[in-house]
Structures are given as structure tokens and as C-alpha cells.
Structure 1
Amino acid sequence: MSDCEYGICPYDKSHRILLFRMPKHIIKCEKNYRGPPLQTCKYNATHRVLNMEKHLKECDYYLRSIENHAVQIALSSRIPPKLEDGHDVDTSL
């Protein structure tokens, strides 16, 4: 069990939870929370934060999403190379 990753509960920093159990824990812990309202990250629902703008600068899930989106845009706007006779090069291998 030492190879499992742990996370810190956003509602109680003294709670150290196995990441695969975090979604269920957050639901229970949120009911007893009495602090300022936390926003839910739309890229990972277990991320609950006070300042979403600051969080998105550090959120791996958001950064991966942006990177994947940029790659998709680049691939969709790519113009296939042409042969000297004007036909497209067959890039399927």
C-alpha cells in the first residue's frame, strides 16, 4: 500500500486521504465544513479552492487540457504537403 498516493482534504488540512478515496471523502467532509465557500475545478472535481484563477495556473489537469487543445488545433489546421505534380503526399503509413 506504500505505492498509493495521498492527498490533503481541501476542507480539513489535517485529513490525509488516499487519492482514489478522495471523491467520497470530499462529499462527507464538505457537509461539516464551516469556512469560506470553495470553488470546484472543472478539470478535476476533487480540486476545491478559494481562488480558481490562481489554481488554474498550477493545475496539472488544466495545463494538460490546454496543451492537448493546442495540439488538436495545430493538427486540424495543418496543410498536407504537396508533390511537384500538385497531388497530396500520402502520409498514412
Structure 2
Amino acid sequence: MSDYEFGICPYDKTHRIMLFRMPKHIVKCQKNYRGPPLKICKYNATHRVLDMEEHLKECPYYLRAIGYQSVQIALTTRIAPIQEDGHDVNTPL
């Protein structure tokens, strides 16, 4: 078996594509697609779905992005600890 990861084409579920080839495949397959319009995930453009809300609950790229944003917010809004004498721990006396 191949060492490559495979994915399923969002436009034709019978297509099993190596993930590194998926962007090019989607462009070609989209031209022949006659179903309901699919929305493009802004966290990974190869994700094409009918219901974006449901997709974002499971999308690893979205979950990674919000996790990163949460860490950044926590780091930028961190309040410096105060010692018992009222001085900021990071400020020299």
C-alpha cells in the first residue's frame, strides 16, 4: 500500500484521491459537478461541504485555528501577578 494519505473528492464520492493531489483534482471535478452548490471552508480550501456549521464542528484546521487564537488572546491579556507587598512580580524593586 502507498505511504500517501487519501481523501474522498467532495464532488464525486467514488473518487479516492491522494491528498497532495486534491487541489488540482477538485478544480477539474468541480467543472462537471451538477449537484447543490458546495461551500468552501476558509480553513482548508479542499474542504467543500453543504453545511458549513456542521463541518466546522469537526474540521481539524478550524479547531487548530481557534485553539491558536485562544492561546494568543490568553497571552496578550495576561495580567502580571502581584506580590503580597503590592509590587508587580516582573518589576524590579
C-alpha distance in 2, partners of 1:9/1:15?
5
| Equivalent pair of 2:80/2:88 in contact (CA under 8 Å) | no
Matched, 1:13 2:13: yes
Q: CA RMSD in A?
A: 1.7
C-alpha distance in 2, partners of 1:39/1:73?
29
Tell me by how many angstroms 1:3 deviates. Answer: 1.7
Deviation beyond 4 Å, 4+ runs, structure 1: 82-85
**Stretch moving more, 13-22 or 78-87:** 78-87
C-alpha distance in 2, partners of 1:15/1:28?
12
**In the alignment, what sits opposite 2:72?**
72
For residues 27-42 of structure 1, the aligned pairs below 5 Å read 27-42=27-42
| Equivalent pair of 2:6/2:17 in contact (CA under 8 Å) | yes
SS of the residue corresponding to residue 36 of structure 1 reads coil
SS of the residue corresponding to residue 81 of structure 1 reads coil
C-alpha distance in 2, partners of 1:18/1:11?
15
SS of the residue corresponding to residue 17 of structure 2 reads strand
Q: What is the number of equivalent residue pairs in this alignment?
A: 90
Tell me by how many angstroms 1:85 deviates. Answer: 7.1
Q: Unaligned stretches of 5+ in structure 1?
A: none
Give the structure-1-normalised TM-score.
0.87
Q: Unaligned stretches of 5+ in structure 2?
A: none
Matched, 1:86 2:93: no
For residues 51-70 of structure 1, the aligned pairs below 5 Å read 51-70=51-70
**Stretch moving more, 74-83 or 64-73:** 74-83
Give the structure-2-normalised TM-score.
0.87
C-alpha distance in 1, partners of 2:69/2:82?
26
